[in-house]
Amino acid sequence: MSASLGHYPEDEEKSVAGLEDAKDVYAIEAAPDRVIVRRFGKLGPLLSRLFASGVEARGVERMPENQRESKNAWNNILMWWSVNTVFDIIPVGVLAQSTFTLSFGNAVATILCFGTLGAIATAFVATLGPKTGLRTMIITRFSSGYLGCTIYSVLNILTQLGFATTTVILGGQTLSNINPGTLPSVVGIIIIGVCSLIPCVVGYNMVHIYERYAWTITLISMLFLWGLGGKAGYDINAQKPLEDTGRTLSADILSFGGIVFGLFTGWAPVAADFNCRLPADTPPMRVFLLTFFGLFIPICFVGILGAALMTITDPAYVTAFRGGSTGGLVAQVLSPLGHFGQFILVLLALSLIANNIPNTYSAGLSMQALGRPFATIPRFFWVLLAFVVYTVAGIAGHEHFITILSNFLRILSDWTAFFIVIVAEEHFIFRRKNGPLGGYNLDDYDTPSKLPVGVAGILAGCFGVAGAVIGMSQALYTGPLGEMVGAEIGFELAAAFSAVTYLPLRALEIRLTGR
């Protein structure tokens, strides 16, 4: 019996007698640990002990309604609060002045406005987790087909690994600035990476346990930064003489806004990964609001802190930033506290673990979502691979952190924009009650012949890429519209192009194929 959004009949009891066929979707949903143990033969006993010890066996398989464990939707806000009340949001606020020469007032307004748009988009995607019981990338199969899901998974792997790379670099820089000359940045990068890896190997429950409480200590540390920064002397008018005017100022705001939008929507491709175990009847508005505020409040709070720290004009603080980037500036802000300030700096550096856990966990899931051959390999293996890749990349690129962060976040916002638009149009137009398809046949999530062909989703995504390219304005390339406007407008055009093209293409696809 198929389940659809708005109505979820109880899953049929699935006997483990059919576990001999590891390709059977029902068997994998019911008992993924037993399927994996039988699949790997001689390694089975070792894997069995791992799963018995608490390591999560379930990967991208759907979570049946009768196995949903979590009923506390409040974990949604606490998790995102921990993920985003972290040190690596500060450099985004720093970019407002260091790269775009915005005044403090314009920086704050841009963070709030573009942050609202990004939080709304990401919170919508989060509502699909409890409804479907599926991970985010698998949900894209219902709009862009099996091949489209593979393409999105590749993009998401690059996104999460990119986020993880910038996170461990900042952590390494911060730890090395605690007592300069004693701990190399490379060692700090490895420490942050290893600490992020452990909860992700264990899996979903350990991730939520850690994220439920991590924000408390970090929030106290952030309050110390706000207070000590004020003691050093915030000068909210310090950037006024440096700020551009007229059309150039508008371009700076649009470009920085794209980075802020990408910071929020960078979580959209993983938003359903961490609540798919909530009951299917969890009110969508509750999930939406908890996710929205879990993103909006901490990111704005910490991002504005970064912009505020850049208004300190004391020469010692300016020199600290130039010599040690964001980590050096924060170390200087905490220096009046002596050894206690160094302790707070350690806590801030370790706060990055909470931010890096979702990157690591979801990168592994996206690798499984590439296709069945990848899904047959246990989830924790892909998590280990993700850790190795971003740690090596962090070590290789740690001397160019600000450049990596700025360029990466600009590009990131473009693809997440058309991803969100396509998923939203599919959900609200084609999958709505009494709509062309009338809901989701959730049992079909791993059956390509019953999923959309994917031509509409892939072509709309291509149009989104075209919009992003012609609206791009970066050091390596400037598109014609980006040059005309004088700003980065990639994500706006990516969303618009895909929105306009997906509707007729998908309607035609449904008419021709019926799915």
- Rounded to whole angstroms, the maximal C-alpha distance in the chain is 74
Distant-in-sequence, close-in-space partners of 391: CB < 8 Å, separation ≥ 6 = 168, 189, 190, 193
In sequence order, which residues have a C-beta less than 8 Å from that of residue 232 and are 6 or more positions away? 312, 314, 317, 333
Question: Alpha-carbon distance 97 to 105, whole Å?
Answer: 11
CA distance 74 to 64: 21
Residue 6: predicted pLDDT: 43
How far is it, in rounded angstroms, from Cα 487 to Cα 463? Answer: 20
User: Which whole-number Å values give the CA distances from 359 to 19, 106, 157, 274, in the listed order?
Assistant: 32, 30, 9, 12
pLDDT value for 343: 92
C-alpha separations of 238 from 121, 165, 227, 260, 301 in Å:
34, 32, 19, 22, 20
| Nearest to 168, CA basis, from 34, 359, 433, 427 | 359
pLDDT at residue number 41: 81
Question: In this structure, are residues 310 and 98 in contact, taking their beta carbons and an 8 Å threshold?
Answer: yes
Taking 50 as the pLDDT cut, the residues of the chain under it are: 1-22
Residue with token string 């996104």: 159
Q: Is 389 exposed, middle or buried (0-12, 13-18, 19+ CB in 10 A)?
A: middle
| Angstrom distances, CA of residue 306 to CA of 82, 106, 237, 253, 512 | 18, 13, 15, 16, 52
Q: End-to-end alpha-carbon separation of the chain, Å?
A: 18
Are the CB atoms for 384 and 465 separated by under 8 Å? no
Residue 259: per-residue pLDDT: 87
Q: Looking up tokens 């004391």, which residue turns up?
A: 314
Q: Which two tokens stand for residue 75?
A: 């974990």
DSSP state of 473: B
d(CA 171, CA 191): 9
pLDDT at 17: 39
* Alpha-helical segments (H) within 312-431: 315-334, 339-368, 372-375, 379-397, 401-425
Q: What is the pLDDT of residue 9?
A: 37
Q: Each residue of 188-219: b (16+ CB within 10 Å) or e?
A: bbbbbbebbbebbbbbbebbbebbbebbebbb
